Amino acid sequence: MADRISHADGIVRGRALLAAGASRADLRRAVRAGAVLRVRDGVYAVPGTPAPIIAAAAHGGELGCASALRARGVWVLGDDRHLHVWIGSRGRRFPHAGCRCVTHHDDGRSAFGLVGVVRALVQLAGCRGDEAFFAAFESAWRLGLLDRAARAEVRAGLRAGQRWLVDIARPDADSGLESILRLRLIRHGIRLVSQVRVDGVGRVDFMIDGVLILEADGRDGHAREAERHKDLVRDARAAAAGYETLRFDYALIIHDWPTVLQAILARLRDHHRTIGRRAGAGVALHVS
Ligand SMILES: [Zn+2]
Ligand SMILES: [Zn+2]
């Protein structure tokens, strides 16, 4: 019985087990012996099924949206305090202990387990907005979870005003933070080139106007400390080659965006003034 359940993403309806030949007495015995967990009336799981999948089944459906993407290793902006559960367009929500779930009702019939990447991304776009979607989309693409057909499917599932996000997405962003930085600057009318090789420095996240290097540091505090010397070497080499580097971490980009933007704009204004002086009077350069 447990074997049958584990083939069904860890969760199965009691009536499917009964239809497959188990008796009610078998089921009761299996639950008593701990071979099978009772999730709620008529729904069972095998021990070892991931807790979020069991909670989603208790709530009435499949792990979806941000939660399904996280479960697949995709970078998702924001906290994970809430479980996102898809119960289908006509599904029913069940009360369960500690429920703080966000319920998704989009079209279709849900089962148990985990929704697919395409549906989860479309759900995320509606649930968490452009930036969260864009970063997760680029992350899923980089992880090899989205082939061309899947990307087109996601695009078709979005509302018209969000489809351009798929069109500007790339598969080479190192972190979700990098995706968000790029999206915000594009929206600000700043043209930047991603993943540029600089002689003596290596690959940098972004280059603007051929002089300003931007690095989005998605590492946590510990990893960053260990790499600090390497960063300083890179910055010194970049400076020697005539570049300037600005580095931003998660806290700055997510919680103090105005500081980031002002730093970038000020540097670009300086650069354009310098070019203007070199080129002589009458050269008008504009940073939007
Ligand atoms: Zn719930
Ligand atoms: Zn959601």
**What is the chain's mean pLDDT, rounded?**
91
- For the ranges 28-37, 99-108, 126-135, 150-159, the lowest mean pLDDT is seen at 28-37
Average pLDDT value for residue range 106-130: 96
280 confidence band (pLDDT: 50, 70, 90) = low
Per-residue model confidence (pLDDT) at position 283: 45
Tens digit of each residue's pLDDT (9 = 90 or more) over 53-95: 999 999 999 999 999 999 999 999 998 899 999 999 999 999 9
User: Do the beta carbons of residue 134 and residue 165 sit within 8 Å?
Assistant: yes
Average pLDDT value for residue range 151-162: 98
Ligand lying nearest the CA atom of residue 125: 2
Instruction: Report angle CA 174, 177, 181 to the nearest 5 degrees.
Output: 105
Residues in Cβ contact with 4 at an 8 Å cutoff, skipping those fewer than 6 apart: 12, 17, 20
In whole angstroms, give the CA distance from residue 242 to residue 236. Answer: 10
Tens digit of each residue's pLDDT (9 = 90 or more) over 172-202: 998 999 999 999 999 999 989 999 999 989 9
Percent of the chain exceeding pLDDT 70 equals 95
CA of 45 to the centre of ligand 1 (A): 17
CA of 83 to the centre of ligand 2 (A): 8
Phi-psi region of 141 (alpha: psi -120 to 50; beta: other; left: phi over 0): alpha
CA of 32 to the centre of ligand 2 (A): 35
Residues in Cβ contact with 267 at an 8 Å cutoff, skipping those fewer than 6 apart: 212, 244, 246
218 confidence band (pLDDT: 50, 70, 90) = confident
In whole angstroms, give the CA distance from residue 205 to residue 202. Answer: 10
CA of 54 to the centre of ligand 2 (A): 17
Ligand lying nearest the CA atom of residue 60: 1
Per-residue model confidence (pLDDT) at position 288: 45
Average pLDDT value for residue range 98-113: 94
For the entire predicted model, the pTM comes to 0.89
Per-residue model confidence (pLDDT) at position 282: 46
* 114, pLDDT greater than 70: yes
Tens digit of each residue's pLDDT (9 = 90 or more) over 220-262: 777 777 788 989 999 999 999 999 999 999 999 999 999 999 9
